[in-house]
Amino acid sequence: MKISKSDYYRNEFDIEYRPPAALQLGVGLGLVEYIPYQIRDSFVSLLSLLRPKSSSAPKRRTFPIDDLSDRLDPSTEEKREFWQKDFGVIMTHDVDTQEGYEFGLSQFVEMERAEDMVSTYNLVPSSSEYKLDTDLVASLLKDGFDIGMHGLHHDGRFAFLSEEEQRARIISAARHARELSIPSVGYRAPWLHRTKQMIRYLTEASFDWDSSFPDTDDSTIGYASTGSRTIFPFYPLYKEGDSWKYSPVIEIPVSMPQDWTLLYYYKLSEESMLRVWKKKMEYIKSQGGLATFILHPDQEDFGHPKHHKAYRTLLKIIKEADPELMTCSDLARRWKKKFPPRD
């Protein structure tokens, strides 16, 4: 199979992931499980200080907008026609911490209900922070919310594991999803730490969707200046033997800057964050694409009550833009119907 230019960039074939050595050291010492947020936030703040000096480093992606894969792809026009409105929006939440699980999640649910919206909650099935309550999962599903698997553990180790261990974790995450009777099995890589084999294992584990590739990412440690350069869902490639194949796992790119990126890397005020989100959403609307958000219900991020007012404002901004609002599972189901996976 000849790989097109758009597939080349969408699948990040030009990029080697470099999860940082310091993180690996922390993982080796067993530190990361206990201090991931302190590491993350201080690293990210440090990166933002170094930013002006590192501007001579080659920029592989532009931020906050990079949709080169779409511009290279002759089928983009057809994808724009997918929506019943001008564009799509998916709100997702990665639940990383105990506080996020116990407090932030229900408050997000309440604020979304008030706006008559549903979202996708990505939960860690085997977390050192919280124990998944099957009743909570069932009641969220009953109310139309969507559940994805946020890895198996959230310990920062995935990208450093052997291929067999990576595979075992993904297979186990899928098993957890099926035990919880989640109708559509989806995945979000912890910390968006992708590896070159990840799609193959998600395919083997029969996930319906994945949402681990940003369109353009300026700041994730070890993954800065990466991204799939698309604001449309796509079928990612994986290697079987010597040949590349399209996976039936639909990839839903994270096309909106994350809350923590804007809070810790860019150190923006809430007002500026809302402006950035609005502007990018308007761009995606003009292109007929999909705006996929990640906001964390954790206390370090938008789950903190001090940010709730801004979150309510964001929900209002989204509704005013009049998109087709969906969850990851709805999107996966409908996209596969309209654009069946290729062999």
- Residues in touch with Zn ion (CB under 5 A): 94, 96, 190
Mapping DSSP to helix (H, G, I), strand (E, B) and coil, where does residue 136 land? helix
- Count CB atoms within 10 A of the CB of residue 62: 14
CB nearer to Zn ion: pick between 248 and 297: 297
**DSSP H or E run through 324:** strand 324-326
CB of 189 to Zn ion, least distance (A): 9
CB nearer to Zn ion: pick between 94 and 99: 94
CB of 239 to Zn ion, least distance (A): 27
Phi and psi torsions of 300, nearest 5°: -75, -20
DSSP state of 300: T
CB nearer to Zn ion: pick between 220 and 255: 220
CB of 142 to Zn ion, least distance (A): 25
Are 91 and 113 a contacting pair, CB within 8 Å? no
CB nearer to Zn ion: pick between 103 and 339: 103
Supply the DSSP string of 183-249, one letter for each residue.
Answer: SS-EE--GGG---TTHHHHHHHTT-SEE---BSSBS-STT-TTB----SS-B--EEEETTEEEE-SS
**DSSP H or E run through 121:** strand 120-123
Strand runs labelled E in 247-309: 250-251, 290-294
Computed over its alpha carbons, how large is the radius of gyration of the chain? 19
CB of 94 to Zn ion, least distance (A): 4
CB nearer to Zn ion: pick between 245 and 296: 296
CB nearer to Zn ion: pick between 151 and 227: 151
Are 329 and 183 a contacting pair, CB within 8 Å? yes
- Among 295, 247, 300, 248, smallest CA distance to 274 is for 295
CB of 244 to Zn ion, least distance (A): 29
CB of 154 to Zn ion, least distance (A): 6
CB of 191 to Zn ion, least distance (A): 6
Question: How long, in residues, is the chain?
Answer: 343
CB nearer to Zn ion: pick between 190 and 253: 190
